[in-house]
A and B are shown apart, each in its own frame.
Chain A
């Protein structure tokens, strides 16, 4: 199976800081990949590079057989890579419907007003926001605005969806709703890369997890493999804890 999105040796430097260091990653169609790592690990930088906010310093990014590094964000969006922001980015003075109509109008081919509105309503219904369609985006609750971000991404007909902490700041009940929503999006055949701090979300959703630390990929595998990986434990909890746990594991094996 060929990868729909692949990063090859991608490095991103900001002045003297190397935010991402020679990261390679292949994502197969239909996968749900979790991207985790401590704060400052380079997760959002990776999403920003794939979505065209930054051009990688070195390395190539390929989407659907086409090189996309160096393309502008609107070009990448039109190809079918959608993203949500960690900090939600609605058009505050527009209604919820108009917000979702914007990607339907500009990214999903040349749609007329009616077709764009139909597509937007469909995305809103899918995300359970259709009753708020005529509200101003700035009047939505945080959970509502997060769902609006998802609806906007969906209205683009994406092949790959990059979710940057869509659950941050939500309460447990809202998270369950969001989880269900992401599962349904995945069931539509959309490939999803999800950045997340909440292990519950990652463990539940992802078939594969990639761990970044100080800009480098330190582990990759199923949720179970990754959580028992000593490098990951070291990155999150420090090396003393990692040694201790490794010792315990050894004792357990010996005894």
Chain B
């Protein structure tokens, strides 16, 4: 519990951000929380299970369109968000059964294509999605400040939920099984792990909150179009964030998401013309010098001092 308390305090502090009354900061905070949702979600399939998924954009876009269409049909906004979570989860379950038997690069490419396919479908299915014209969402009849606060808190709540999910998975037999699968999938079957089931669950968990984030995003910006919500970058960014902070850890993706947001914002503001290149180089350098992410830095330093898990009998026997 001593490790949970500081995290809860930090979340509470961040939740007090609207007190500063700066809507630019609030927008950044909402983006940061959204990034955290995506990085933490990717962490379950990519970090714990070691399956390099590029399907985040597919889940995000699917959630955005599910939410937008339902809200357009008059569904109460929070219900539309929940429905978007469920739609992404269901989609991930079916998709996972189809592509999770692929390994490594093959899986990565298969997952990358999914967003492209959905992009094509949404663009052509004009009667439902508005096609290339995009989709407008109902305007909320509350003040701009109230809107900024509402979406910030909603996104932060979703990020906290995703963090809690990561924590539970990491401390549950599911997390143990996923770590086994990452290190040696054949041996995992031999020690009694239902690898197919575990991978599909991990894939669903990596989708459910991203779908919600997509719907929240749609409600927040009031207008979505296919290339915006199915952007390939949406799949790539969470991977970079998780690697930055430390993939396969619980807090790493959050740290990575915040770091990424700060870098993106600083580089964008100061190097407008070459910001993409500068950000890319910065990321390559960071990942090159910090292979275990920011958290990996601490772990390596701490390790010789204290064994990760105390085991009095075996240690004393030496």
Contact = CB atoms under 8 A, between A and B. Distances in A.
Interface of A: 51-53, 72-74, 77-78, 82-83, 85, 89-95, 97-98, 101-103, 105-108, 121, 130-131, 133-134, 152, 156
A32 B186 CA distance: 26
B190 interface: yes
A74 B187 contact: no
Say whether chain B's binding surface is mostly helix, strand, loop, or mixed: helix
Contact of B317 (A53, A73, A107, A130): A130
13 contacts: A72-B196, A77-B192, A89-B187, A91-B187, A94-B179, A94-B183, A95-B309, A97-B314, A102-B177, A102-B180, A106-B173, A108-B192, A134-B309
B318 interface: yes
B190 A73 contact: yes
Nearest to A89: B187
Interface string B177-200: 101100110111111111110000
**Contact residues on B (Cβ < 8 Å of other chain), bracket:** 20 to 34
A103 B192 contact: yes
Given A89-B187, A106-B191, A134-B307, 16 more contacts: A74-B189, A77-B190, A78-B192, A89-B184, A90-B184, A91-B180, A91-B187, A97-B311, A102-B177, A102-B180, A103-B191, A105-B176, A106-B177, A121-B313, A131-B318, A156-B192
Contacts, number: 87
Contacts of B318: 131
Best-surrounded residue of A93, A95, A134 (most CB of chain B within 10 A): A134
A152 B194 contact: no
A68 to B, nearest CB: 14
Nearest to B317: A131
B315 interface: yes
A89 B314 contact: no
